[in-house]
Structure 1
Amino acid sequence: MEKPLEQESQQLLIRKIDALRFYGGDTRERCSNGYVGRESQDAMFGDKNAYWTLNALLFEGIKNEQERIWTEDHLLNTEFIRRIDETVQIYTDIFTLMKEKNADFDSSAVGRRIERASSITYYENGFTQSFFSCSKSGFDMTFAQKSNIVLIEMELARNVPFIDFEKILSRKEYKHWDEREILLPPFINIEITEMPLTVSETRRIKDLNKRPPLGKYRLKAVEFPDYRKSILDSETIIWQQIYDGKDSAAHLLEMIHKKDKEQDYEEYIRWKEKLHQYLKIQFSNIWYGGDEF
């Protein structure tokens, strides 16, 4: 018979695995017998494209939201802002799993991803902004439906947080197991090098407007910085500002949905900056050791 502490530990692990499944697009709820069953009908946890919103909230400014909504017709989910405590739990559960279940380093593992060309500016600044998902199988055409794309190869480095879905989730437990996904965290240091496109890549891969990729880049994950050395504000104060501003931030995201280009979105941008600060502190605590979230 399992002891209470063992049961609690197992339940926490299941919660973290479910957060990873959810981020990856599997919205099935876990039944009392431990197996995943029917699709969730929850306004937040039933969102099969949750990663659109989860990632958009991690980018600076509003350009990512505008591109997703105004150009690609991808609506984001304001529930993730209104229920920000649950959203932060998803982020931290996934990052915690990256530390607890970090796979043995494999220098031959390279992830591939089709990305917006506009994202290169962020990578040239030396870090990822959102969770970075890539596939060991190759460039997945499902993700080419964006305007102006580039191809990215991600090289992993020793002692960098990441998750190899194949090594954590079974085929029965995860709907999208065949994607052979690797997931890296936001806010991680990277190095970038431009590469030549092959003839096959320009012929085979097309963007939303049937245009070939604009370029190809090799990224190398370097390290996850300890952000506690640079963020001096109190976690308690930052969190209170995030919580107090969530309804206003959700309203402003709705204005982006309505394509209101006259609206001043500075408050929304500042709110996201506070969210980034808070997560950087939490992730640093997890990766380097410190207070538990």
Structure 2
Amino acid sequence: MSTAAVQQSKAAAASPRHQQLLVTVFGLYAREHGGALPVAALVRLLGDLGVEGAGVRSAVSRLKKRGVLESVKLGGAAAYRLGPGLEEVFSEGDERIFSPHRARPDDPWLLAAFSVPESQRALRHQIRASLTRLGFGAVSPGLWIAPVALEKEARRRLARAGAGQYVEFFRARYAEAEHAEDGEGPGMPERVAEWWDLDALEATYVEFVEGQRGVRERWEGVAPSSAADDAAAFADYVSLLTQWRRLPYLDPGLPAEYLPPTWHGLVAEELFASLHAKLEGPARRHAERVLAG
């Protein structure tokens, strides 16, 4: 993952845009309602997140232009639904976001090799962008690497981009690691630090943990027990998920043994899992109340 990509994600996480909050709300609740949410409910739910009606309309307009949302009627009322094919994309992301998998040292690596004709330079950029968004590290311009668990997801994403035929995948082990154990060259921790910008990733995780410190303290030892508590849990949970959902894509689940001893990624995973377990249910109760009218 490049430093620039990590820095962009850090900026987005520090102050979620209205569009990002709206996408989170759709990802959480629209699929259980036929993929569509009424405009009135969206305004109310985003209002609970501190977004005024004008901000909701502006965010919806931008997402419509990008094809993320489309207008529909729901019981005669104005509503919006996810664009074609996006429910599948959201479903694929559920496992990555809510149940991130961390590879083990004895797992094979996934190598993605591609060569694109100069006349299709835009496609080459698209392949690199797709692999970057999935969390692949770059060994060389045409050879990228990731934990093997990403294979199916990578194949699906490249196929949707029309680039699957240009990429070949290999499952491999780093043979030089055996020599490194004898002091003859760099081992996997050193190589991982070359292929991924671990310093930038660490800073992103630290920012997430620090940013959720207030939420953790607010709900520590507290069980939501009223409609007002549920509304507060909804606001905290949507913000939590909006800031978290990019991180599993920046860190593809690198083996903990190859990461620095003080790696905050593990702390962040535990924090998210804990807050998710506590807030998801109350947040859903609030959303369902609003969607019920």
User: Could you say which structure has the greater relative contact order, defined with CA pairs below 8 angstroms and 6 or more residues apart?
Assistant: 2
Q: TM-score range by the shorter chain?
A: under 0.3
TM-score w.r.t. length of structure 2: 0.27
* Greater gyration radius: 2
Structure having the higher helix fraction is 2
